[in-house]
Structure 1
Amino acid sequence: MSIISILFICIILFLVVYLLYNHLCYFSNRSIPSPPIHSIIFGHLYDLWSAKSYSEQLRQWTRQYGSVYGLFEGTRPQYVISDIKVMEEIFITQFARFYARRTAFANRIVGKEHFNVFSANIAQLWKKQRKILNPTFSGAKMRRLLPTVEACVNVFMKRLALIPNGTIINIYELYKRLTMDTICKVEELFRHDFERTRLGRIHRATSHTLLANVWVFIYRLQLFFKSKNSSLPAGIWLRRHMYEFIQQRHIDLNKKKSVEDFVQLMIDAVNSDKEQLLPTELLSNVFIILIAGFETTSTALAYCTYHLAIHPDIQQKLYEELLEHCSSDSNSYDVIMSKLTYMDMFVREVLRMHPIAVQAINRECMEDTDVAGYHIQKGSSIQVDVLSVHYNQELWGPEPVDEFHPERHSCKRHPLAYMPFGGGPRICIGMRFALMEIKSCLARLMSTYRILPSSQEKYELNICEESVIAPEQ
């Protein structure tokens, strides 16, 4: 090898090392603290993967490095924030520069025609989808869906009635069946015994968060390869069944047939707007409602039940409120969503202490900008440390933040101090439906049963976190 070749290789190596070093100095050059990096390639991902809880790891680093610090997702800079002023800039004031969520690899490979209202990272695309789908989740439409939800709650209560009184049960599994039944019923996806058998397989597949994520990835991967045959029927069959169902619903619409469910509400919203969703976009949004609405709601119900069991005084207050309002002739939707004020504070406090989808509360910087004195480059991601925000004594005092006090929500707080559904213009579109389902189920449960802990000893939750923070099985 000639001296010139060796010199050329040395120069290339020097440039590579220099660029990597300069990139890894991204935060130190901006006087932003950052945990030590153990891998040039993976950045801080190994630390996060090896941690028992992603959210608790962020919270631990926040205690150590402050309310704004930096991480590397591989080689991409990520700001972790819990400063309310910085959050306000990103989620509200400068939202036009932070409208996108962090784009997953699976979303990048399938193309924008398969993006949904959650994953869309193009300004015009997410605005179009949100504008078209917002009426689907309006108060008036939720009022129309409440009887369907209550019918699923009735089935849930019948399952409970089969269990002898005094029996210790894991109600979390029953909640998962309830929320899957509810989502599938309001999407009217399963009508026959054969389809119910498939639903049982999906129940089993999605009873573990990791597998639910795998189904999402497989669904999107199949869209990319456009394969017509698959050896994974429970997940792929679901996608195909949805597509066939939506096509049939369009045919029924032309025949003036009308059905009250989510799919019909979406189709009505699409047809009432000048802009249109592509069939693939409609399918993707139906699918994301199924995946997002299943485990988050069942987990929230599990946490609610836990706090009812360990706080009998609060359970009694809720029961008295139910006796006062649910015996009246008022519309059940108005009662559940407006008149049960203590129930609302109770659910809000549960979600404050146990935010479920923390990893979804993120944004991507779409153009270089300055935020509260920090210069953020295009392509950087922003992750909110939701636990640090929800357990901030200044934001949630004077009661101790690690104690359960529903009454703290009777005081007005900063709108971004409460982030279980995100914040700003891209707050969770299904929030109203989730709260309606949670409150409807709790109202029926407490009207019929008294919820007790499994023992007199102090009971602690064992938490595991994959894509959501949930109790262990």
Structure 2
Amino acid sequence: MAVRSILFVILVFILSVLALLYSSKFSRWLTRSLLTWKHGCKEPPRPKINLDEINRTSAQNCTSLDTTTQLFNEYGKTYKTKRGGTVFLRTCDPEVSKAVLSTCFEKFGLQPIRYEGGNSFFGNGMLVTDGAQWKASRMLIRPTFDVAHVANLDRLGPFVDRFMSLLPRDGSTIDLLPLLKRLTLDISSDFIFGRSMDALSSPESGKDFMNAFHAAQRDVVIPNPALRSKEHYEGCQDVWNYIDARIDEAYSRISGSENKPPSETKHVRIIDELVKVSQDRISLRFLILSVFMPAHDNVAVALSNAFFHLARNPESWTKLRTEIISKASERLTYDLLGSFKYLNWVLRESGGPDGRSSLLVEKGDLIEMSFRSQQRDKSFWGDDAEKFCPERWAIIRPTWEYIPFSGGPRICPAIKLVYAETEYIMVRILKEFSGLENKDKVLQWVEERRLTFQSRNGAKVALVP
């Protein structure tokens, strides 16, 4: 009798669980069906592919970018996959990017993806947060970037002078990428930390900090703290200690500048502007780190890519140099840099089954946007989308098809500063050297994945005075 009672209880429990699961699934199915009908949604293609294996193989073969584009060509601008129980919507559709980054911005976020792993290094910085925390961080840094692209142009001179002195003038081969990285590390560390790393003076200068930075950055994708390496935590602490020391210097510098004439305090530094408005040293540390993360080598990678392509397209180099030399006697100002149309062109060059139906995105779905594939979509850019062709910018007017700095509320606040620095450095090189020759046996651009994708072979060239 007792056994029957126990079996009956177990049976009732099992049936109850099954009923609950069925009810829950039915409820989700019904809700999804109603939303699909209401908004006219259509299901995107759902290819049966092993995305993990594809990603692993393409990374090993240095073909991640091309493989991603090939998948879009095969399955459409938006398709759906499932990995580890999570639904992924992969897209290169400008309209989806616009919805996620702008028109429906409040409905999407990156904190659920980044925070669990990233906060071990970036704390509550704006790279890993959404909502009020992100808005507060954004509001603190935005005013500085609104003026820095003009106010800080003159500060580039000494750094670029040192860089130019290291360029060979005998026609010998140089890989510009490592040297450009040392240059932009000096510029960014001076602007962000208030003290240059002086990497151009010595390749070893700043090396300890950057080694710690890379060690800390390496494990931020691991959500489980116990699985992160000892080097990760040591790197985090070393980087934090360095930034904390720079914050102390900034407080001293600001308190000592109150009695100085305005002309002596004109130099704009991120760290100085932030300590004027906040006494929260921990928040300042993570905010400054969030700025340094994308800033320390992105300009170098962009310049390296530009020279990589110019060395293989001498007619573009000639057109560009003709434009620059025509105003060689004029002082390099922000307005003058903005007037170089061909230079701007060169730098820019470096939904459902029908593509128009609404997409149903449920809570918990991940949207993976491929800006690189978006910027090579032949239906918009033409059949020569993969070809280096600055002249295309004379007639094409992209909106969400071209967003290298993202878009909407999260658009990079340093966009004007990045363009100004990149243009300034390019103009200085073009004014001094009449020719550029490719010295790389590998003609094709081969990817290397870092924070951003860069040329695996750098930019091996010879500069002709």
Q: TM-score band (shorter)?
A: 0.7 to 0.9
Match of 1:439 in 2: 423
Distance 1:424 1:101, change over 3 A: farther
Match of 1:465 in 2: 449
Query: Does 1:144 pair with 2:177?
Result: no
Alignment of 1:17-416 (within 5 A): 31-36=43-48, 38=50, 44-52=51-59, 53-100=63-110, 103-107=113-117, 110=120, 114-122=123-131, 124-138=132-146, 140-160=147-167, 163=168, 165-186=170-191, 187-190=193-196, 199-203=206-210, 213-214=217-218, 236-256=237-257, 258=265, 260-264=267-271, 266-267=273-274, 271=277, 278-329=280-331, 332-336=333-337, 338-350=338-350, 373-397=358-382, 400-416=384-400
Match of 1:421 in 2: 405
What's the offset of the Cα at 1:470? 1.3
Task: Say if 1:27 and 1:33, in contact at 8 Å, map to a contact too.
Answer: no
Q: Deviations over 1:64-121 (max 9, x none)?
A: 211111133532222112223333332222222225466325556559x932233222
Task: Say if 2:447 and 2:454, in contact at 8 Å, map to a contact too.
Answer: yes
Task: Say if 2:80 and 2:88, in contact at 8 Å, map to a contact too.
Answer: yes
> 2: distance between equivalents of 1:293 and 1:231?
21
Q: Which amino acid aligns with 1:393?
A: K
What's the offset of the Cα at 1:304? 0.5
Task: Number of aligned residue pairs: give it.
Answer: 424
What's the offset of the Cα at 1:346? 0.8
What's the offset of the Cα at 1:340? 1.2
What's the offset of the Cα at 1:309? 0.4
What's the offset of the Cα at 1:417? 0.8
Q: Which amino acid aligns with 1:116?
A: G
Using the TM superposition, name which of 459-468 and 445-454 deviates more: 459-468
Distance 1:190 1:150, change over 3 A: closer
Q: Which amino acid aligns with 1:178?
A: L
Unaligned runs of 5+ in 1: 39-43, 351-370
> 2: distance between equivalents of 1:191 and 1:465?
24
> 1: distance between equivalents of 2:152 and 2:82?
43
What's the offset of the Cα at 1:46? 4.3
> 1: distance between equivalents of 2:381 and 2:187?
34
Distance 1:402 1:12, change over 3 A: farther
What's the offset of the Cα at 1:472? 1.3
Match of 1:355 in 2: none
Distance 1:313 1:444, change over 3 A: same
What's the offset of the Cα at 1:343? 0.5
Name the SS of the counterpart of 1:72 in structure 2: strand
**Normalized against structure 1, the TM-score is what?**
0.76
Name the SS of the counterpart of 2:44 in structure 1: coil
Task: Say if 2:405 and 2:415, in contact at 8 Å, map to a contact too.
Answer: yes
Name the SS of the counterpart of 1:328 in structure 2: coil
Q: Deviations over 1:365-402 (max 9, x none)?
A: xxxxxx952221123222212233211223223x7212
Task: Say if 1:117 and 1:129, in contact at 8 Å, map to a contact too.
Answer: yes
Q: Deviations over 1:6-41 (max 9, x none)?
A: 97998899899999x99xx99999633223255xxx
Distance 1:325 1:101, change over 3 A: farther
Task: Say if 2:125 and 2:287, in contact at 8 Å, map to a contact too.
Answer: yes
Name the SS of the counterpart of 2:297 in structure 1: helix
Distance 1:303 1:5, change over 3 A: farther
What's the offset of the Cα at 1:414? 3.3
Task: Say if 1:69 and 1:79, in contact at 8 Å, map to a contact too.
Answer: yes
Task: Say if 1:190 and 1:196, in contact at 8 Å, map to a contact too.
Answer: no
> 2: distance between equivalents of 1:319 and 1:432?
23
Match of 1:454 in 2: 439
